[in-house]
């Protein structure tokens, strides 16, 4: 009997510990205000991109909004959502705000409350991206629990950051994490009342469906209908699976680069990629290729100098990684909150090497900014490779293109012999914040927040159709229709090859 009482007490204590790790638990406004101030101070001191796309007045305004929101908030999740909104507002795809691991573990254990189907943006609509469910594949979602889908997704965009005011990239995030994002914003739902339209029907039907657990919703994502078409974006590619070249007919080539994550000059993977490029472009010259499709639609970035080396084989101009770059501090601020896995009293050691690196590279001070000087490696002038391609380039882009992928795409898009086809990229055209990330942990909530500190102006020309705060905008906007989606048709590649055919007949 005594043993049973001890077990019962242990069970109650354990359940309270686990419950205490729930994002739905209460969290004091006093702690929220302390963490909000720390978050703001860090951003003002260390984030050079804070006002890249937002004015000082706009930034002040959203922090006033955050202070008012705290006055209406009482849970940990309420505060997390405020910090996510602030993080997204800045407009950098390298920004990230995340929950502590103990909260994530609790989320993964939740066995209900999540929307049961993955979704996908097709032809201006959010469609059910799952076959053999209670709602037919390809049905347009109109409302969930009474909320119009257009209003609903606006509230979920804050969880997936993109450059500037780009929206297309946020849809990539919702394609992957719609169920989780819904739970984070609206809480756990036992059931979902879904209003939907079947394809080619004006009739709005309604169906109440049961929720699923965290793990089940991601299992279903792995069984999404579009997987054969978009799985490469999620795949853990081996070294030589990251790039490919093939020839079509007598004068057309297709160069595909899925990732620039091939290491730097010291790695064998990088050296193998250099050998691949040299071999391919030697062959292109030998075979007299007149039209080259460069497909980077799944390229989310990677490491220098893979993007720059690739561009050197595709341009006729001299170039550099950026026109200018700067950071907003001389020494890394707020070390006591830094995301370093070392005791606080030892953090100055790691920070010291970071500070030396920054001071060696960003040594020109002007108006409280620290700029890269002409001796910086990023300002090295690159020459076109001796085997650089001279024909017409058809660049395929998508919302998945980011970071080093979008830097490469921006430089190539700026060349006169390049035609850009596809959908607006997640990464910016004129610049971005990148290169070196800093991480911090807010003292009360332990929320983790990361951002890249180098404000870059990319070495690209002005383009008539290019908006400053947006991703790379194609010359030809081409995206899947409903039938393309159902039939898994690569309409963008088909369009490029048809355009090549038409141009060759002129």
Residues 403-429: pLDDT tens digits?
999 999 999 999 999 999 999 999 999
- Average confidence (pLDDT) over 382-407: 97
pLDDT tops 70 at residue 443: yes
- Average confidence (pLDDT) over 266-288: 96
Is residue 225 within 8 Å of 130, Cβ to Cβ?
Answer: yes
- Average confidence (pLDDT) over 273-300: 97
For the sheet with 476-477, list strands across it: 243-248, 252-257, 291-295, 392-397, 418-422, 476-477
The residue with greater pLDDT, 322 or 346, is 322
Separation CA 409–CA 311 (nearest Å): 9
Q: What is the DSSP string of 192-245?
A: EEEEEE-TT--PPEEEEEE-B-HHHHHHHHHT-TTHHHHGGGT----GGGSEEE
pLDDT value for 438: 94
Q: Which residues contact 254 (CB under 8 A, 6 or more apart)?
A: 244, 245, 246, 247, 248, 292, 293, 295, 493
- Average confidence (pLDDT) over 465-484: 96
With cut-offs at 50, 70 and 90, classify the pLDDT of residue 164. very high
E-strand spans in 353-447? 364-366, 369-371, 392-397, 418-422, 431-441
Is residue 32 within 8 Å of 81, Cβ to Cβ?
Answer: no
pLDDT tops 80 at residue 352: no
Is residue 292 within 8 Å of 255, Cβ to Cβ?
Answer: yes
Q: What are phi and psi of 310, to 5 degrees?
A: -60, -45
For the chain, the straight-line distance linking the first and the last C-alpha, in angstroms and rounded, comes to 92
- The model carries a pTM of 0.92
- Weakest-pLDDT range from 82-96, 212-226, 268-282, 358-372: 358-372
* Residue whose entry in the numeric block shows the structure tokens 């690569």: 490
| Whole-number percent of the chain with pLDDT over 70 | 94
pLDDT value for 379: 86
- Weakest-pLDDT range from 165-179, 296-310, 368-382: 368-382
- Average confidence (pLDDT) over 297-313: 96
List the beta bridge partners of residue 253.
Answer: 247, 292
Domain ranges across the chain: 119-233, 239-438+454-505
- Average confidence (pLDDT) over 14-38: 81
pLDDT value for 18: 41
pLDDT value for 239: 84
CATH superfamily of 119-233: PDZ domain (2.30.42.10)
Q: Tokens representing 494? A: 């088909």
Check whether the bond before 391 is cis (ω within 30° of 0): no
Q: Tokens representing 326? A: 């700067």
Q: What is the mean pLDDT of the chain?
A: 92
Other beta carbons within 10 Å of 88: 18
List the beta bridge partners of residue 252.
Answer: 248, 291
Coil, helix or strand at residue 364? strand
Architecture of domain 239-438+454-505: Alpha-Beta Complex (3.90)
- Weakest-pLDDT range from 4-18, 176-190, 325-339: 4-18
* Residue whose entry in the numeric block shows the structure tokens 């297309």: 168
* Measured CA distances, 424 to 39, 73, 178, 398 (Å): 31, 36, 21, 6
User: What is the tens place of the pLDDT at every residue in 128-160?
Assistant: 999 999 999 999 999 999 999 999 999 999 999
pLDDT value for 344: 60
> What sign results for the dihedral spanned by CA atoms 74, 75, 79, 85?
negative
Shortest CA distance to 260 belongs to which of 448, 415, 81, 411?
411
Helix (H) / strand (E) element for 39: namely helix 29-46
pLDDT value for 187: 96
pLDDT value for 189: 96
């Amino acid at each position: 009997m005594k043993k049973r009482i001890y077990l019962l007490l242990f069970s109650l204590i354990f359940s309270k510990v686990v419950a205490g790790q729930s994002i739905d638990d209460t969290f004091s406004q006093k702690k929220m205000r302390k963490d909000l101030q720390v978050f703001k101070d860090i951003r003002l001191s260390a984030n050079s991109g804070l006002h890249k796309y937002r004015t000082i007045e706009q930034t002040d305004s959203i922090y006033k909004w955050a202070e008012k929101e705290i006055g209406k908030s009482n849970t940990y999740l309420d505060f997390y959502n405020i910090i996510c909104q602030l993080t997204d507002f800045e407009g950098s795809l390298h920004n990230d705000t995340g929950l502590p691991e103990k909260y994530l573990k609790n989320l993964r254990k939740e066995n209900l409350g999540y929307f049961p189907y993955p979704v996908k943006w097709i032809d201006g609509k959010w469609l059910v991206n799952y076959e053999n469910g209670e709602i037919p594949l390809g049905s347009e979602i109109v409302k969930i629990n009474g909320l119009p889908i257009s209003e609903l997704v606006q509230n979920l965009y804050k969880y997936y950051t993109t450059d500037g005011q780009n929206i297309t990239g946020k849809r990539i995030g919702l394609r992957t994490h719609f169920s989780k994002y819904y739970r984070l914003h609206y809480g756990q739902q036992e059931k979902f009342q879904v209003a939907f339209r079947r394809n080619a029907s004006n009739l709005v039907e309604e169906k109440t469906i049961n929720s699923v657990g965290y793990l089940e919703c991601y299992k279903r994502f792995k069984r999404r209908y579009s997987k054969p078409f978009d799985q490469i974006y999620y795949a853990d590619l081996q070294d030589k699976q990251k790039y490919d070249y093939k020839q079509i007919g007598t004068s057309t080539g297709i160069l595909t680069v899925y990732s620039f994550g091939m290491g730097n000059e010291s790695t064998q993977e990088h050296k193998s990629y250099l050998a691949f490029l040299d071999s391919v472009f030697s062959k292109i010259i030998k075979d007299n290729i007149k039209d080259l499709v460069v497909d980077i639609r799944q390229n989310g970035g990677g490491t220098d100098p893979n993007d720059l080396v690739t561009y050197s084989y595709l341009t006729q101009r001299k170039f550099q990684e950026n026109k200018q770059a700067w950071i907003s501090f001389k020494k890394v601020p707020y070390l006591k909150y830094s995301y370093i896995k070392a005791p606080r009293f030892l953090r100055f050691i790691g920070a010291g090497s970071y500070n030396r690196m920054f001071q060696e590279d960003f040594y020109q001070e002007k108006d409280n900014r620290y700029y890269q000087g002409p001796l910086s490696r990023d300002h090295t002038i690159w020459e076109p490779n001796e085997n650089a391609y001279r024909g017409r380039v058809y660049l395929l882009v998508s919302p998945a293109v980011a970071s080093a992928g979008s830097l490469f795409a921006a430089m190539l898009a700026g060349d006169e012999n390049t035609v850009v086809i596809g959908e607006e990229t997640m990464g910016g055209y004129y610049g971005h914040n990148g290169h070196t990330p800093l991480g911090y942990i807010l003292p009360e909530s332990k929320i983790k927040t990361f951002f890249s500190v180098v404000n870059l102006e990319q070495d690209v020309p002005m383009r008539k159709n290019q908006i400053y705060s947006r991703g790379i905008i194609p010359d030809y906007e081409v995206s899947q229709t409903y039938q393309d989606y159902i039939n898994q048709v690569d309409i963008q590649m088909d369009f490029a090859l048809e355009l090549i055919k038409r141009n060759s007949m002129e």
